[in-house]
Amino acid sequence: MLSKITFSRFLTFLTALLVATTLLFYLFFSQTKSHIITNFEQTGLEEVSEVSKNITDYLLRMQDEVTLYHALYQDKKHQVALEEFLSTFQTHKIKNIFVVDKPEHDAVLFRVLLDGGKEKGDKFHFEELFEPENRLWHEVLLTREPKVIYQKDNIEALWATFLYPMIQNDGSVAILALDFSKEHYQKVLSSLRGLEIFLQRMVLFLLLIFGILIVVIRMDIKREQQKMDAQKALEQLNLTLEERIRDEVEKNRQKDRQLIQQSRLASMGEMISMIAHQWRQPLSAISSSVEGLRVKLALKKFDETLFEDKLCDVNGYVQHLSQTIDDFRQFFKESKAKNSVTLERIVERVLGIVHDSLHHKQIDVVLDLQAHVTFMTYSNELMHVLLNLIKNSEDVLMDNDVVYPWIKIATYANETELVLEVSDNGGGIQPEVMERIFEPYFSTKEMKDGTGLGLYMSKKMIEEHCGGKLLVSNNTQGAVFTLLFSR
């Protein structure tokens, strides 16, 4: 009981550490996200401001000693040439470019001097008057400072207008207006929000798992205490043969329960190890990508293409982590009722869990899947057995230092049975071992803390729960474990 409680506390501590790490990562990401958004927006405005300044400098150099209005009024060809000049700055980011000033005799209306629009139907005409809806136009004239008008006064709008003051030779002010797109900014903002939502959900999921573990551990400790009290009471009543028989029966039941529990705990430890192995690389890559972007922004070496590529990479890593969560969550679901499934689906789900571990150890997986017939069984228990067989083959291949190791998984069907075979090229099982291989507590891995419960529990699950058979044999290259199910 003590070792079980210690393991439970260790598992709780590990889960709490994972929750804390994920929460810290989420908080770090939230701060970084705000910094990225602020700098990205500022970079876009600086780019538009630089374009406006260049256009303004060019226009002011063209007017000589008179105002831009009088220069354009006196020379219509000059007006057409400057409008064509403005149109050259139109891109997918800049939609409209035009110049206005405010007539001295009118306190409300503005008049158009130049319009670089390419669509004739949408262009303003020279001296055409219009009344702006936003008071920022008048503030630009008074303060002579650039202003930004966002669509519907929302900083997240897809289009915005940049107002840039043009101080003319006589001291009067004209306004250069650029309508520019913020679509690329919205794409970045959407990607960052998607990642933030995922992190929020992951924190909540881990908190839920942590809470469930606390409840289960407390119930388990209470149950173990109750078992010990019951055992002591039975020992006190062990005065007659009938009472001794009942005591032995109860001990056997306790033994079976402990065997099942030990098998589940051993599998859970292996699964946690696999989760850590599969998460380590994506989490490291996400951290590296975010840090790289932060450094780029800090050094003012912004590259939009690189930024979008890195976000795509981060999104890919996030999808991989999400899929890993789904795979392990499905594996740990308790099978309360039989469900319809195919052997191929069982194989696919188990390989989704162990593929990275096998690939890391350079073990090839050979598939020959030909059954494709649905049948009723406890799919999670069958997954548990298949996972145990694959892990046994993996251990044998590694212990024997097999050159070019492989594990073959084959399925096929005949008239009466469905067959699932797991074989390897690890050299096979010795005859003296073959006779005892399904006995409880018999293990060839004693030097590696083997419990001797894996194959014993696998046989019980297949033959007593799933209604099938589990057989073992050797071929010319290694061991063959065969699972048989009635159609």
Residue 33's closest CA among 186, 192, 184, 199?
Answer: 192
So what's the pLDDT on residue 221? 79
So what's the pLDDT on residue 326? 65
- The CATH number given to 339-486 is 3.30.565.10
Residue 387's closest CA among 357, 364, 361, 367?
Answer: 357
CA-to-CA distance for 451 and 448, rounded, in angstroms? 9
CA-to-CA distance for 405 and 428, rounded, in angstroms? 13
So what's the pLDDT on residue 2? 47
Q: Which residues of 29-59 are buried (b: 16+ CB within 10 A; e: fewer)?
A: beebbeebbebbbeebeeebeebbeebbeeb
So what's the pLDDT on residue 447? 45
Q: 334 phi and psi, to 5 degrees?
A: -75, 130
Strand order in the sheet with 129-130: 129-130, 110-115, 94-101, 173-181, 159-167, 147-150
So what's the pLDDT on residue 401? 92
Pairing outcome for strands 406-413 and 364-369: parallel
CA-to-CA distance for 418 and 408, rounded, in angstroms? 17
pTM of the model: 0.41
Q: What spatial distance separates the first Cα and last Cα of the chain, rounded to whole Å?
A: 43
So what's the pLDDT on residue 267? 59
Average pLDDT, the chain: 80
Fold of 62-181: Beta-Lactamase (3.30.450)
What's the DSSP call for residue 154?
A: -
Q: Which residues of the chain fall short of a pLDDT of 70?
A: 1-9, 33, 63-65, 105-106, 151-157, 185-186, 237-244, 249, 252-253, 255-282, 284-285, 302, 316-317, 320-321, 323-336, 441-453
Pairing outcome for strands 110-115 and 94-101: antiparallel
Contact 221, 11 (CB under 8 A): no
CA-to-CA distance for 60 and 101, rounded, in angstroms? 14
